[in-house]
Amino acid sequence: LFILIILFPALVQAATLVNINTASVVALDSIPYITPKIAQSIVDYRKENLFIVIEDIMKVTGIKEGIFGHIQSLITVGDTNTADTSGSVSDNTASSTIQDSSEDITTYTPPPSALTVDAGSQAQNATTEVPLLFSARVTTKGGAIDSSAQIVWGFGDGSSATASSVKKTYYYAGTYLVVVTATDGLATGRDEIIVTVRSAQVRILEIPDAGIMITNDASERLDLSGWALFSNKKSFRIPNGTVILPKASIILPPNITFLATTPEVTLAYPDGSIAAQYVQPSPVVEKIAQPPVPSTSSNEKKVEPITSQKISVQKNENAVSAPTAATELAAVGAALSPAPDSSKASPQTSAYNIFKSPWTLGFLGTMILAGGAFILL
């Protein structure tokens, strides 16, 4: 065997050529200078394009002339496993390998075409406790609908489903990546959706006579399809297509819901769990305004300080006269003699009082001082 390898290297090379149109990622990765990333690029490229000649591999991202020079002797685009013992002709293309009439004709079968999966919008919003409908359509490369493809959904929270249309209910707010994969034989395709799940910001604002008012406090639309209202042991299923705009309210009148407008009203999710209940407003307590307290400055009363006044003893010394020794006590019940009139005092008493006056004494003292000063001068 060793001698055969040395003598006939072309036979060994022919037996190890890798068909780049059919080889798996593992087989392509075994080729020198082909990394796993380049091998995957080759597989992705041939899903849409067939390698006609080996030079077409340079159209794959990552393969330049330098790498091609190393691998061109190791790859092929046709079947090379059939021994050529009678002068078979091979042009190293994807066409059939022509042999003489004594050999079978081997025809290259191209890989299956890729599938296209369309799951609708690439970004969707959902509400906790509310089912979200997913639907996907699978088409072939030529645009025909592939109804036989198997469609598998992965919802990003550990759950999955198999069908072209499915409903999914998220119970926790968050952002989820939904991946849908279609498979038909060896052909595959996939699509992705980013789903943002939020809690419902809904409340029963009031219950007027006109009906039940439901308010959406969120910045996104709120789809009430399949929700239910309960009042007085009766229920009303909200029809599909009932949507509340952001920061808006709707009124469901009693002639449609046939519900009594009582305070005991409950709004429920489609699965029956409570979404909102009507809360009666607290009674308004009117505050009585207290009259303003008058300023203390307006009622201030100026209090004059008490000043002592000197009372002249001399001016009032005659106001009360002490009883004389000659005064006799009158008998009880006897008539008292009239008091002497002070205005009829004797001239001696008046002159005596003048000299006792401080004004008179001051005047005399001033005259004496002035006379002494005159004498000295």
Q: Residue 32: pLDDT above 90?
A: no
C-alpha 95: how far from chain center: 62
Q: Greater confidence, 144 or 325? A: 144
pLDDT in tens, 46-100: 888 888 888 888 888 888 888 888 888 899 987 544 334 333 334 444 444 444 4
Half-sphere exposure of residue 36: CA atoms within 13 angstroms, side-chain side:
1
Based on the fold, state whether residues 208 and 222 are members of the same structural domain. Answer: yes
Considering Cα of 226, then 228, then 234, then 236, what sign does the dihedral take? negative
Task: Name the domain boundary from 253, 277, 301.
Answer: 277
DSSP H or E stretch at residue 207: none
Coil, strand, or helix at residue 349? helix
Structural domains counted in the chain: 3
Q: Is residue 71 part of a domain?
A: yes
Q: The CATH number of the domain where 185 resides is what?
A: 2.60.40.10
Based on the fold, state whether residues 128 and 191 are members of the same structural domain. Answer: yes
Q: The CATH number of the domain where 37 resides is what?
A: 1.10.150.320
Task: Name the domain boundary from 277, 299, 329.
Answer: 277
Task: State mean pLDDT over 187-199.
Answer: 93
Based on the fold, state whether residues 2 and 70 are members of the same structural domain. Answer: yes
> Cα–Cα distance between 117 and 111 in angstroms, integer?
19
Q: Greater confidence, 186 or 98? A: 186
Based on the fold, state whether residues 208 and 193 are members of the same structural domain. Answer: no
Q: Is residue 327 part of a domain?
A: no
Based on the fold, state whether residues 191 and 223 are members of the same structural domain. Answer: no
Based on the fold, state whether residues 3 and 101 are members of the same structural domain. Answer: yes
Based on the fold, state whether residues 95 and 1 are members of the same structural domain. Answer: yes
Model pLDDT, residue 104: 46
Q: Is residue 303 part of a domain?
A: no
Based on the fold, state whether residues 103 and 2 are members of the same structural domain. Answer: yes
C-alpha 156: how far from chain center: 22
Confidence label for 195 from pLDDT (cuts 50, 70 and 90): very high
Model pLDDT, residue 163: 94
Q: Is residue 296 part of a domain?
A: no
Q: Residue 112: pLDDT above 90?
A: no
pLDDT in tens, 151-170: 999 999 999 999 999 999 99
Half-sphere exposure of residue 294: CA atoms within 13 angstroms, side-chain side:
5
CA-wise closest residue to 25 among 42, 5, 8, 9: 42
With DSSP H G I counted as helix, E B as strand and the rest as coil, what are the percentages for the chain, rounded to 5? 25, 25, 50
pLDDT in tens, 297-342: 555 555 555 554 554 444 444 444 444 444 444 444 444 445 555 4
Range of the domain at 227: 202-277
Model pLDDT, residue 12: 43
Model pLDDT, residue 336: 46
Q: Is residue 213 part of a domain?
A: yes
pLDDT in tens, 249-279: 999 999 999 988 777 899 999 989 999 998 8
Model pLDDT, residue 128: 93
Task: Name the domain boundary from 152, 171, 198.
Answer: 198
Whether the Cβ atoms of residue 186 and residue 112 lie closer than 8 Å to each other: yes
Q: Is residue 31 part of a domain?
A: yes
Q: The CATH number of the domain where 273 resides is what?
A: 2.60.40.1260
